[in-house]
Amino acid sequence: MTSDAIENSAANKAKTGELKTRWWLANGHAQTLYRKFSSAPDLGHSRQRVELSDGDFIDIDWALKPDDGLAERKKIVLILHGLCGCSRSSYVLSLQSLLVARGVSSAAMNFRGCSGESNRLARSYHSGVTEDLREVLSTLLEHYPEHEIFTVGYSLGANVLLKYLGEEGKAAQCSAAVAVSTPFRLADCSRTMLSGLSGMYGRYFVNRLKVTLDDKMRALESAGNRAELERMHQLTIPGRFASVWEFDDLITAPLHGFASAEDYYERCSSSAFLSAIKTPTLLLQSKDDPIIPAASLPAVDTLPAGVRFQLTERGGHVGFVAARESRWLEEQIYRGLFG
């Protein structure tokens, strides 16, 4: 893959990448599952807690902190994980490992409740939770005012990132961004996970979400947080959720001020915010993504001048595992951020 593959033509047309895969990784499911279950680099983290204005917290995990004397450039890459992910997700560690090797500081942001410790409030995280990203970016800039901030989001984190960039326009607090495997239209993606082979991803996610929900209930009870427990008890919580859509309808929506799952999906889908993005941004997607249907991808001729679109034939969902380039995805991200 040459650098030309991630540059827009004058007409801002989409590029189809030449990701060459091994024969046994030649479909979207194989790519997705291989990345999920592959071993991750052994990378140490330094944790920082960001206290939020509503009394909750976000934990960010540093690899090569800016002030430890080893960082070679005054740049920080903030990384946002996907649904049910965390700073120890393989794709996060793979990117941080490459950045460390090149002397670039990076911080992996764990969304609320994803750092190994339940958050303090009933509310959690979701695909449109830009207020938390905004506070974390402000904290980084306050601590490191001489540094440039660059941001990378995967899946749910990519949707949050693009929504934030569109909301902020020219005021966005980052110099460049990369969004990988973005669910641009949340309803389409949630619906895709209701049936067929893609239904296994829906079952995986909703089972993980139920475990996290149960853990939160126990944590709130242990802390004696009656006000937040009351909020949880007002929810309709079945013994088992049938789908991500049902979880979002019964839990995500009422906890975060939405009327329903459909209302949440409509108001938080990043597709509605793309045209307002002013930050140089790379969108990296695969045609064979088993979670994101092709119909939900943005029309390239509607993207603003600074938003580039790289579309590969193969890659799955946050997969992009190449035959001979072990860091193909990370290299694309690095070029997308720094040229």
Tell me the catalytic residues: 155, 289, 317
Contact yes or no for 153/166 (Cβ under 8 A): no
Tokens 């991200």, residue located: 333
The neighbour count for residue 160, using CB atoms within 10 Å, is: 28
Residues 6+ apart with CB under 8 A from 323: 20, 21, 22, 25
What is d(CA 109, CA 162) in angstroms, rounded to the nearest whole number?
16
What is the rounded radius of gyration, in angstroms, for the C-alpha atoms of the chain? Answer: 19
Reading the block at residue 319, the tokens are 């997969």
Residues 6+ apart with CB under 8 A from 245: 190, 191, 194, 261
Q: How far is CA 173 from CA 50, 53, 149, 176, in A?
A: 17, 18, 7, 9
The single-letter code of the amino acid at 159 is N
3-state secondary structure string across 288-338: CCCCCCHHHCCCHHHCCCCEEEEEECCCCCCCCCCCCCCCHHHHHHHHHHH
Look up residue 251 and give its DSSP letter.
I
Task: Using alpha carbons, select from 30, 255, 235 the residue that is nearest to residue 126.
Answer: 255
Handedness of CA 74, 113, 122, 249 (dihedral sign): positive
